[in-house]
């Protein structure tokens, strides 16, 4: 992929107006033909072909932050960087953010190691205030390993966490956020109604019924309108933008 597809750049050039003090949110993930995002038992699958993976890394460059749930962080040990882009072309790297109420992130994960070795931005861990001593011990260990620990301004209600986390990230300067999953995070963000762009990569593979799927409540993305479907390499990319 020499450059991102024009429909995708158009989605990101669109001036989205939002009333709340929160980042603009892009929800994105890759799925198989049978709508699975991971294999049996959550095994990480590289579903995206080379070209669409480069496209995903390009999307990372146009966001201030990139967010995953702690389930993904523990399972995949992701780097959330832009290493698939051509070397020598300067681009911006998003701040990795992990939604991790109980500070379960591993202190030796790649996000923390990359930061310690000067190869990545400082990872932010969003946790929920607690008196639980085990959580507080893990919090201290993460902090001393280099992670920035952020107490979420939880506004629980019906959609636990999401709106409070977005407000907190906005107050820390994050104006655009790419949300990469996994399954529970996709569900929470979709239900929150606070998604401004949705970009789904569909790969021509079938995982089977034991793979990990996700749910999207039919009403959850009512604010979005379909923009385009385009082939990128062997995959198809489907883009939605807020109305
Ligand atoms: N194909 C793709 O594009 C992608 C696939 N994946 C796959 O997804 C799987 C992981 O998904 P899953 O296990 O669902 O984990 P998630 O990454 O969705 O993380 C879920 C955890 O995040 C924490 N969390 C904090 N706040 C919230 C909130 N508001 N809503 C939901 N969760 C919250 C919870 O843990 P706690 O309460 O302890 O904080 C929860 O258990 C892996 O198999 C991975 O490979 C992941 C990303 C992309
Ligand atoms: N776009 C995309 N395609 C796939 O096939 C994937 N499995 C994912 N997964 C997401 O990317 C994270 C891994 O990132 P790094 O390669 O380590 O930078 C993974 O944790 C998922 O969030 N995405």
Q: Are 101 and 136 in contact (CB under 8 A)?
A: no
Query: So what's the pLDDT on residue 63?
Result: 97
Q: Is residue 121 part of a domain?
A: yes
Q: Among all chains, which residue has been given the structure tokens 């202190």?
A: 107
Query: So what's the pLDDT on residue 207?
Result: 98
- pLDDT range class, residue 38, cuts 50, 70, 90: very high
- Is ligand 2 within 6 A of the CB of residue 199? no
Q: Among all chains, which residue has been given the structure tokens 């979709």?
A: 190
Strand partners, 211: none
- Read off the CATH number of the domain in which 204 is found: 3.40.430.10
Q: Is residue 5 part of a domain?
A: no
Q: Is residue 8 part of a domain?
A: no
DSSP category for residue 121: P
Q: What are the pLDDT digits (tens) for 8-30?
A: 999 999 999 998 999 999 999 99
Domains: count for the chain: 1
Of 29, 12, 110, whose CA–CA distance to 63 is shortest? 12
Question: 31, 33, 76, 205: which to mutate for ligand 2, most atoms within 8 A of CB?
Answer: 76
- pLDDT range class, residue 158, cuts 50, 70, 90: very low
Q: Is residue 64 part of a domain?
A: yes
Q: 220-227: long-range contacts (C-beta < 8 A, 24 or more apart)?
A: 220/190, 220/191, 220/193, 221/190, 221/195, 222/193, 223/193, 223/195, 224/195, 224/197, 224/198, 227/7, 227/10, 227/11
Query: So what's the pLDDT on residue 62?
Result: 96
Q: Is residue 12 part of a domain?
A: no
- pLDDT range class, residue 157, cuts 50, 70, 90: very low
Q: Is residue 14 part of a domain?
A: no
Asked if the model's pLDDT at residue 160 lies above 80, the reply is no
- pLDDT range class, residue 152, cuts 50, 70, 90: confident
- Is ligand 1 within 6 A of the CB of residue 30? yes
Query: So what's the pLDDT on residue 21?
Result: 94
Asked if the model's pLDDT at residue 220 lies above 80, the reply is yes
Ligand 1 atom nearest to CA at 68: 17
List the residue whose alpha carbon is closest to atom 13 of ligand 2.
Answer: 78
Question: 75, 182, 211: which to mutate for ligand 1, most atoms within 8 A of CB?
Answer: 182
User: What ipTM score was computed for the predicted complex, to two decimals?
Assistant: 0.99
- Is ligand 2 within 6 A of the CB of residue 201? yes
Strand partners, 21: none
Average pLDDT over residues 112-122: 97
State the average pLDDT for the chain: 93
**The domain containing residue 66 runs over which residues?**
19-86+93-242
Query: So what's the pLDDT on residue 159?
Result: 44
In this structure, the number of other CB atoms found within 10 A of the CB of residue 71 comes to 20
For residue 235, give the 3-state DSSP assignment. strand
Tokens of 28: 């994105």
Ligand 2 atom nearest to CA at 56: 1
Q: Give the ligand at the shortest distance from the Cα of 45.
A: 2
Q: Give the ligand at the shortest distance from the Cα of 111.
A: 2
Asked if the model's pLDDT at residue 154 lies above 80, the reply is no
Q: Is residue 10 part of a domain?
A: no
- Is ligand 1 within 6 A of the CB of residue 213? no
Query: So what's the pLDDT on residue 2?
Result: 59
Ligand 2: centre distance to CA 78 (Å): 7
Query: So what's the pLDDT on residue 161?
Result: 82
Ligand 1: centre distance to CA 185 (Å): 5
């Amino acid at each position: 992929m020499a450059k991102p597809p024009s429909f995708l750049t158009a989605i990101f050039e669109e001036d989205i107006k939002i009333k709340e003090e929160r980042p603009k949110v892009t929800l994105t993930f890759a799925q198989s033909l049978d709508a699975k995002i991971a294999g049996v038992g959550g095994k990480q699958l590289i579903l995206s072909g080379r070209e669409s993976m480069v496209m995903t890394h390009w999307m990372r460059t146009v966001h201030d932050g990139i967010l995953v749930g702690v389930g993904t962080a523990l399972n995949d040990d992701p780097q959330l960087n832009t290493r698939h882009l051509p070397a020598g072309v300067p681009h911006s790297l998003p701040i990795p953010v992990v939604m991790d109420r109980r500070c379960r992130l591993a202190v030796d994960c790649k996000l923390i190691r990359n930061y310690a070795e000067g190869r990545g931005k400082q990872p932010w861990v969003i946790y929920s205030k607690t008196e639980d001593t085990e959580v507080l011990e893990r919090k201290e260990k993460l902090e001393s390993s280099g992670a920035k620990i952020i107490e979420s301004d939880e506004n629980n209600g019906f959609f636990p966490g999401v709106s409070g986390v977005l407000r907190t990230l906005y107050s820390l300067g994050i104006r655009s956020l790419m949300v990469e999953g996994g399954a529970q995070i996709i569900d929470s963000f979709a239900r929150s109604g606070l998604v401004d762009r949705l970009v789904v990569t569909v790969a021509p593979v079938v995982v089977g019924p034991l793979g990990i799927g996700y749910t999207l409540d039919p009403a959850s993305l009512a604010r979005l309108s379909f923009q385009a479907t385009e082939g990128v390499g062997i995959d198809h990319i489907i883009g939605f933008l807020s109305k």
